[in-house]
Amino acid sequence: MIRRRILLTSGASLLAAPALAQRNAGGLPDRPITITVPFAAGGPTDVVTRLVAEGMAKDLGQAVVVENVTGAGGTIAAARVAQARPDGTTLLMHHIGHASTATLYRKLSYDVQESFAPLGLASDAAMTLVARPDFPATDLAGYMAEIRDKGDKLTLAHAGLGGANQLCGMLLQRAAGRALTTVVFRGSAPAITEMVAGRIDVFCDQATNTAPFIKENRIRAYAVTLPQRVPGLDHLPTTAEAGEPSILMSTWHGLYAPASTPEEVQQRLAAALRAALQEKRLLDRFSELVTQPAAQDRATPEYHRRYLAEEVARWRPIIQDAGVYAD
């Protein structure tokens, strides 16, 4: 388990000894807020969280701490937040893997939906369907034809159970009606390195990770998995445009508090999240990362709660059909 803490302040005093009894507007205790990240520092989720934390600290006028707590596909971090004091000072930023955890893990110490208060979505990033640089297909139809023809003679990378690229790989195999030979890596970076070298055939990974290699023609790219084309990769069609509408997903991030957090506190934190998503620094950095801030009407507790339930329900049969579990 790796932990790393970075303090982001907005003129807030950290002399908090008597402050536990004090509360800011919106019912938040007047002490630092910790956003727990289930993945290592420097990865996409970590970068998104630090940008959001910076904007939230500015809006709230108090310190925000980002802590990396890794392991067990994000379940260690999620369990910690689920069991934390529900006062708004311990939060979780998780991606699509939070929804898939409900099925991937058959024994959890928490309930993915009932143990948390969703505060709002933070970002959406497209997945990209890519292949080694000498892969014979020139478009998505050819890509799928190769997969349907060769099946398990082709290697498919993913970076761990419950990650977005594993989920996207499930959609790819489901759409093709063929199982590929899966090769598991410790992160996207080594998987892409092996693909550039021609030792992995196909991959489905976040545009944040693949865009530099696509732009330099070091890997072949065929489509993005959002309903609309992606700025920065405008030349790539959507999977729907290219004839594979069932391969549709985004790597979304959402912010959570423990379930019993007071409604007033939830709404104050959600408002700070929406303010952060409009900060110029965040918008500029998200553009560089080929990701998009969640729209303001999606960065609300109400929308996030519905969306999480839909995603849990969506991925359950896909994971069960694949018969892949983490425990």
CATH topology for the 5-124+250-322 domain? D-Maltodextrin-Binding Protein; domain 2 (3.40.190)
> Would the pLDDT of 217 be above 90?
yes
155-199 per-position pLDDT tens digit: 999 988 778 999 999 999 999 999 999 999 988 999 999 999 999
Say what the pTM is.
0.89
* C-beta pairs of 209-214 under 8 Å, 24+ apart in sequence: 209/44, 210/128, 210/130, 211/128, 211/290, 213/130, 214/128, 214/130
227-238 per-position pLDDT tens digit: 999 999 999 999
Please, are residues 54 and 63 in contact by the beta-carbon 8 Å criterion? no
Please, where in the chain does CATH 3.40.190.10 lie?
A: 126-224
Please, where in the chain does CATH 3.40.190.150 lie?
A: 5-124+250-322
CATH topology for the 126-224 domain? D-Maltodextrin-Binding Protein; domain 2 (3.40.190)
